[in-house]
Chain A
Amino acid sequence: ETGVTQSPTHLIKTRGQQVTLRCSSQSGHNTVSWYQQALGQGPQFIFQYYREEENGRGNFPPRFSGLQFPNYSSELNVNALELDDSALYLCASSLVGGRNEQFFGPGTRLTVL
């Protein structure tokens, strides 16, 4: 059984650019959630994908968007990057109907200059 994986590990972008982060869910999991963790803060829920559809969104603007693929992997896209987007982006996978326990990937550290 493979765990949650994310790529890339680190990324440096400049303001205004666009970025795509990727996540492969744990084997058997059908739900992917994305969180943003700013330095020194707790993670904040961005959105969740289930059956390739967005299934809830936190307080993030539309320039944060995502996709889920038939194999349950997912992408997080951020357009028009701002300095405040610098953070650790965490992907978590889970199984609807299970214990609702989320398993987190290693994260992608995004730095916006």
Chain B
Amino acid sequence: GENVEQHPSTLSVQEGDSAVIKCTYSDSASNYFPWYKQELGKGPQLIIDIRSNVGEKKDQRIAVTLNKTAKHFSLHITETQPEDSAVYFCAAAYSGGGADGLTFGKGTHLIIQP
């Protein structure tokens, strides 16, 4: 089955700086890579996703890059703000042939220092 590794487990950055979280996956058949943000006491919420037919996707201050050859993908947050503080999870799945169940990484606790 799929295995997703995520690092770092904790990331502290100054407000206004950029944050980068990296993930690797094991199953070359995976073709869908979402990122979820989880605030305390809430369920995970999708913030951005990328499919294997593109290498980069951007949405305002958030961008995701994918390297299929190396089987790794990254989340980039620019101009960080206090409300970006949360736990971020990467995930991978094969979407299109059956269940869209996701395999998650262990999460990155992002702390934005004022």
- Chain A complexes with chain B: no
Residues on A lying within 8 angstroms of B by beta carbon are: none
B residues neighboring A (CB under 8 Å): none
